[in-house]
Amino acid sequence: MAHIDHASPIPKYLQLRTILLDLIDRELSYDDPIPSERELSDRFGLSRMTVRDTVDRLVAEGRLYRVPAKGTFVARPTIEMPLQLSSFSQDMRKRGLTPGARELSRRTEPAGAHVQAALGLRGEEDVHVIERLRLADGTPMAIERSHVAAALAPDLAQVSLENSSLYQVLTERYGIVLDGGEQTIEAGLADGEDARELAVAPGAPVLWIRRRSLQGGRPVEYTESVYRGDRYHLHIAFATAAT
């Protein structure tokens, strides 16, 4: 390992962070343990508080994870959140992961005001509401709560989506091909029920995503999702504007 320069103006926790990231990226594999807080403190001449704070930050960023009474381990890399219209199943397959779903609930009910607005409905038209826990290689990744106007997909409530793509079902069964959409992403904290389904601690960081999918400019699907913050990151490429 490198060393801590105690005379440097760079804060010691940032120096330790760099050392640990180099260790993670160059020497360790997924699920390998990192040295204990005591070992790191003794090796680099740092206080246990500084070491714990640095490790806590890397755990919050999803680079490490803790197992009570066992230690701290290297986490699997986070998944890049696509900023284009694609289904969860399509996205996971592109990454070499096996998508899955476990249905939490489904119902058909009059649309509430915010769903009416999102789907451009008039009055209290019925919508199918399908809640699913989305999995990647068996690991909980997100909870999706999808809303589709019942008039567009009359018998959707009877169609199994246990391990299927909703977009594929809409295309193959109802001839609905989604060609556009928009989504809003916000940071949030997992509440008790969502945390339990996602296998994270209550109050863990999550991404709240609201997505509206369109066909020919017409809203077809509105989904509110909760994604694990320790398993996803956002990446945006941009070109430098001329000055």
* Tens-place pLDDT, residues 44-58: 999 999 999 999 988
CA distance 140 to 133: 7
Separation of first and last alpha carbons in the chain = 43
% of the chain surpassing 90 pLDDT: 28
What pLDDT score does 221 carry? 92
Write down all domains in the chain, each with its CATH number in brackets. Answer: 12-74 (1.10.10.10), 79-234 (3.40.1410.10)
Q: Residue 230, class by beta-carbon neighbours within 10 Å (0-12 exposed, 13-18 middle, 19+ buried)?
A: buried
CA distance 128 to 147: 6
Segment holding 188, helix H or strand E? strand 180-189
* Predicted confidence band of residue 233 (pLDDT cuts 50, 70, 90): low
Helix (H, G, I), strand (E, B) or coil at 54: helix
Most confident of 70-74, 80-84, 225-229: 70-74
In single-letter form, the type of residue at position 222 comes to Y
- Asked if 111 and 121 count as a contact pair (C-beta separation under 8 A), the reply is yes
| Residue recorded with tokens 């009055």 | 123
Helix (H, G, I), strand (E, B) or coil at 56: helix
CA distance 22 to 15: 11
pLDDT tens-digit series, residues 97-121 = 777 888 888 899 998 888 888 999 9
Mean pLDDT in residue range 174-197:
87
pLDDT tens-digit series, residues 146-174 = 999 999 999 998 888 877 788 888 999 99
- Rounded to 10 deg, the angle between the 37-44 and 12-26 helix axes is 120
CA distance 103 to 132: 4
CA distance 85 to 91: 10
